[in-house]
Structure 1
């Protein structure tokens, strides 16, 4: 019988140790799933009554924390806000100091995106699945799906959502939201 080389045993022990540390401690998970712009996220989440971990999960899926990102469809910044949505939010009370250029600034983008989530929460009675679907596909589409019984608005039945991109989006945001809850709570 051949002897197992020491380097393989040490490598296996290191992998086991890292696995134990990963499951018993959040330090490695926090490295793998960081939350950037945490102060801005927490401040705006508190201001608009939105879960900060949900905001962080949306940012992770939308832009992976890249503030300069512009999508093919024209969505801008960390929270990938569409210019028309931004104009609508900028017309609201309390946003007069911001401009369309503010979409490129992380703090302002987070403020507008969190306000938009707040408005969607009001429109869809804080139903997370509907809010996330509306954030991605637009509130009009979600309302149509619900009114015509295409989708029942439940997370468990997102496979009924007409747009593949929106189904995938909701699923990914919920995945990161649960991951963040496990790590940061």
Structure 2
């Protein structure tokens, strides 16, 4: 009799524990779904804003020199390559050939136009890797100090006047902007003045500046050097 009561009591405890466990599992599932839905909504909202801006641009003619391939980079590409792995032709400019080749390999990895990046460097620093502006922009690609920490955290760059590290940082920034905007003029404007300031101009229908025109002109000259269009 005592054994039977003990069994019934034990069975009841087990059922209670099972019900509590089931409730916890259901709660966790619902919480996870809600959290995912919220995150997806925020991401979709940001993506929608970028898409609207790109659609506004679709009715105007523009020369697009950058590429977009539906990849999202959350970290730096592998730097494990050897000289001569790719068919590289140097430009006639002030940057040493080995640094040009390094830039070329990075551009290939991120699917960006080499001549566009070189044109940006020409415009930003005239190929002077040690220059620091009065507004705290550093090196070849004039990486502003407000971007230093996240670039250090994301791709490990620590010296923004080192030519190789600076190129790594600048090309990564460009790649991320192309992922977001997919339009060369918009990318260059965002790179130059920041996304918020650029967005204020886009809202006014302004999608080109002296800055973007200079870089695209430099790129045209570099393309001519390489025998391209």
The gaps in structure 1 that reach 5 residues or longer are: 1-29, 159-166
Pairwise CA distance, 1:35: 5.0
Which residue does 1:109 correspond to in 2?
Answer: 166
Q: What is the number of equivalent residue pairs in this alignment?
A: 135
Partner SS, residue 103 of structure 1: coil
Which residue does 1:78 correspond to in 2?
Answer: 140
Instruction: Say which of 46, 56, 63 aligns to 2:125.
Output: 63
Pairwise CA distance, 1:133: 0.8
| Alignment partners' CA distance in 2, 1:34 and 1:182 | 17
Q: How does 1:109-148 map to 2 (within 5 A)?
A: 109-125=166-182, 127-146=183-202, 148=203
Q: Deviations over 1:119-174 (max 9, x none)?
A: 1111112x11111111111111122322x3x1253xxxx2xxxxxxxx22111101
Pairwise CA distance, 1:89: 2.0
The gaps in structure 2 that reach 5 residues or longer are: 1-90
| Alignment partners' CA distance in 2, 1:111 and 1:134 | 18
| Alignment partners' CA distance in 2, 1:45 and 1:108 | 14
Q: How does 1:14-25 map to 2 (within 5 A)?
A: none
When Rg is computed on C-alpha atoms for both structures, the one with the higher figure is 2
Which TM-score applies when normalising by structure 2?
0.55
